[in-house]
A and B are shown apart, each in its own frame.
Chain A
Amino acid sequence: MSFLGFPRPDGSVGVRNYVGVISTVACANDVAYWISQQIKGTAPFIHQSGCTQLKPDLEMAARTLTSIGQNPNLAGVLLVSLGCEGVDVKRIEDGIAQSGKPVKKVVIQEAGATIALKNGLQLAQGLVSEASKIKRREFDNSFLRIGAKCGASDTTSGLASNPAVGAAFDLVVDDGGTCIFGETTEFMGAEHILTRRAVKKEVADKILEIVDQMEKRAIARGGDMRGGQPSAGNIAGGLTTIEEKSLGAISKGGTKPIQGVFEYGERVQGKGLFIIDSPGREPEFLTALAAAGAQVCLFSTGLGVPQGFPFMPVIKITGNPVTFKRLPDHIDIFVDLIGGKSSGLPAMGKIIYQALLEVASGEQTKAEILGYGNFPGLYTIGPVL
């Protein structure tokens, strides 16, 4: 099996062909957003990080913005910088350029936002013009790099949509592709099941370490996670504890061996199934997937969520028949497994895989058509100073 994608200079394959307009710091967001709204073929990446943070968070911002720029769905990148931000813009620029794609930059403090806007519009137009010359061609499925996420989970997520996404993940791994999941908070209470699938002891130890760190951070700040995890929506959907949510959540990672664990913002290297250490909230987690190099996200939901991402198609999958009927403008695939069709799991995995290949080859998701997903997040651990 194969899909139609855009070849990139670093050997990766894009499923979309945008020019990324990436803000390097919260203060530059408006100009980046203005440019993206005017020039067709661009996609903005705006966020609230990049300055006045502790070193680990500045480091995380630099790493993430570099990896975001390297995502194969971007043919070129325009960086929009303020000028005095704490994050190392040169490092981001050089890092993205290493992937072989064109990188341009405008700096607001050099001559003001109106001049940065004028220059940015011209540069973005030129980058889109170049990008549009790249044509889709056929690639085998080992070039796939797919992410999974669950959000607004209810009981049906653990019973139907998560295992169905997991079945699709297994098929991608069998075809030699790369699959990525995370949401470390939602490993709590289920980590012993994941560690059994680690390819070596170091990977198992790393899984335990990231869960322990996440749990200690939550307790240190909040005393009790409930209400945050599981969220109010999860509880309304029947999920009582984080353990119950986790046991359902991990099934979206499928059943294949876990090859390694990457940090938030790192680009995942290698074939097979990987974990990224990350929070479960949508805006920050979708960014982690895009930074990991994912081309498409399979998004399992119970109560239904609208989010997409500016340049990574997000396929919404639910096993809740009520949600599917209520939210036709958001849900792409209904997993009909509740109440008697558990033997249909392999079949649902194939249906999701086929849909994934169609989307990879250019079919638009509901969120893409709606234009929902312009406001992603960038994770921080420490305070804003």
Chain B
Amino acid sequence: MKQGEKAIVLNARDNVATALADLETGSSLEMNVGNKTLRVKLTMSIPFGHKFSLLKIKTGESVVKYGEVIGTATADIYPGDYVHIHNVVSNRGTSNRGVE
């Protein structure tokens, strides 16, 4: 994490980033993911501590943070989209999916 960064990617495998400040719609961000730099333009405002997508995540695909699966996309998510409970469900603690 560099001083003054507006958002953070915690692991090279992640497909979402976390905002470290309130970010405005239309903001362009350069995110370092592993040895690549991804340029992302926010399609919505992202509150401090909330997440946006770095890549396209199709419906049914995994959302990855900390290098681990944190849930499944319930809608197609595009780079720069807000990622939260409106488009991600848990795989755990629910009878809807997951637990065998």
Contact = CB atoms under 8 A, between A and B. Distances in A.
A308 B94 CA distance: 32
Across chains A and B, which 9 residue pairs bring their CB atoms closest together, nearest first? Answer: A340-B3, A155-B49, A225-B93, A238-B49, A241-B90, A244-B70, A238-B50, A241-B71, A224-B94
Nearest to B91: A243
A155 B88 contact: no
- The B interface, classified by DSSP as helix, strand, loop or mixed, is loop
Interface residues of A, number: 37
A253 to B, nearest CB: 15
Contact of B94 (A193, A225, A244, A320): A225
Interface of A: 154-156, 158-159, 185, 188-190, 193, 215-216, 218-219, 223-226, 229, 235, 237-238, 240-244, 247-248, 302, 320, 322, 338-342
Nearest to A227: B85
A229 B90 CA distance: 10
A342 B84 CA distance: 25
A185 B92 CA distance: 10
A237 B48 CA distance: 8
B95 A238 contact: no
Contacts of B19: 238
Contacts of A159: 8, 10, 18
B89 interface: yes
Given A154-B49, A155-B50, A243 B5 contact: no
| Listed residue (A155, A218, A219, A302) with the most chain B CB atoms within 10 angstroms of its CB | A155
A243 B96 contact: no
Contact of B70 (A156, A216, A241): A241
A247 B66 contact: yes
B92 A156 contact: no
Nearest to B1: A342
Contacts of A158: 66
Interface residues of B, number: 36
A326 to B, nearest CB: 13
B49 A247 contact: no
Contact of A223 (B48, B92, B94): B94
Contacts of A215: 92-93, 99
A216 B49 CA distance: 30
Contacts of B20: 338-339
A347 to B, nearest CB: 15
Contacts of B88: 240-241
Given A159-B18, A224-B93, 14 more contacts: A155-B50, A185-B93, A188-B93, A189-B91, A215-B92, A219-B94, A225-B92, A240-B71, A240-B85, A241-B88, A242-B90, A243-B91, A248-B66, A339-B4
Contacts of A339: 1, 3-5, 20-21
Greatest chain A CB density within 10 A among B1, B65, B92 is at B92
A339 B21 CA distance: 9
A189 B69 contact: yes
Contacts of B95: 219, 223-224
Interface in B1-32: 1-5, 8, 10, 18-21
Given A155-B50, A338-B20, A340-B5, A219 B65 contact: no
A248 B4 CA distance: 22
Interface string B40-57: 000000011111000000
B70 A238 contact: no
Given A218-B93, A225-B93, A156 B49 contact: yes
A243 B70 contact: yes
8 contacts: A158-B66, A223-B94, A224-B93, A238-B51, A243-B70, A243-B90, A244-B66, A339-B4
A193 to B, nearest CB: 8
Contacts of B10: 159
A247 B70 contact: yes
A340 B94 contact: no
Contacts of A241: 70-71, 88-92
A339 B8 CA distance: 8
Contacts of B66: 158, 244, 247-248
A227 to B, nearest CB: 9
A218 to B, nearest CB: 5
B71 to A, nearest CB: 4
A292 to B, nearest CB: 25
